[in-house]
């Protein structure tokens, strides 16, 4: 009986290990083997600053509340402190006014192209007054913009945008 139990346990253990190897979990939003966490946040900052300067045109949007989504989540307080000159930036979901005008700035993912270039995708929702209120989770990848971010003298800057 113990031999049968041992054989069954071995089969289940082998199946579990095989399943875990084939399904390691969610894909990270950036190449962790080629992009450090610090670089990823610097690239996200460059994209968000570009979005603020170039993709927000409505009067309501400029004075409304701004929510950043960086690689699938609201960034840390340390990251949002980089944008101290913009009082519209909210630092957590709890600060969102459901009745207010909200602009969502999103950086979804990034991939290294070469030593000084990272390609990323993102979008601004609610950035002009003619857009509907942003709805998180309803936009597919076809609605996202591509950003080519290049490092010049140690500073990451958006060099080109491919609009959807």
Domain 28-162 belongs to what topology? Answer: Nuclear Transport Factor 2; Chain: A, (3.10.450)
CA 8 from centroid of its chain's CA atoms: 44
> Each residue's pLDDT tens digit in the chain (164 positions)?
656 555 555 665 555 445 555 555 566 788 888 999 999 999 999 999 999 998 887 777 778 889 999 998 899 999 999 999 999 998 887 888 888 888 889 999 999 999 999 999 999 887 665 555 445 454 555 678 999 999 999 999 999 998 86
CA distance linking residue 4 with residue 2, whole number of Å:
5
CA distance linking residue 162 with residue 164, whole number of Å:
7
Phi first, then psi, for residue 106 (nearest 5°) are -125, 135
């Amino acid at each position: 009986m113990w031999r049968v139990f041992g054989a069954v346990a071995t089969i289940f253990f082998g199946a579990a290990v095989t399943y875990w190897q084939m399904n390691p979990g969610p894909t990270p939003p950036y190449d962790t083997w080629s992009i450090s966490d610090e670089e990823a946040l610097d690239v996200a900052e460059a994209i968000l600053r570009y979005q603020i300067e170039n993709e927000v045109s409505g009067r309501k949007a400029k004075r409304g509340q701004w929510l950043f989504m960086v690689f699938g989540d609201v960034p840390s307080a340390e990251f949002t402190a980089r944008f101290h000159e913009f009082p519209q930036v909210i630092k957590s979901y709890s600060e969102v006014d459901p009745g207010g005008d909200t602009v969502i700035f999103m950086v979804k993912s990034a991939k290294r192209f070469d030593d000084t270039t990272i390609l990323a995708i993102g979008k601004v929702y609610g950035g002009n007054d003619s857009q509907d209120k942003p709805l998180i989770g309803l936009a597919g990848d076809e609605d996202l913009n591509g950003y080519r971010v290049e490092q010049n003298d140690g500073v990451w800057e958006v060099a080109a945008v491919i609009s959807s």
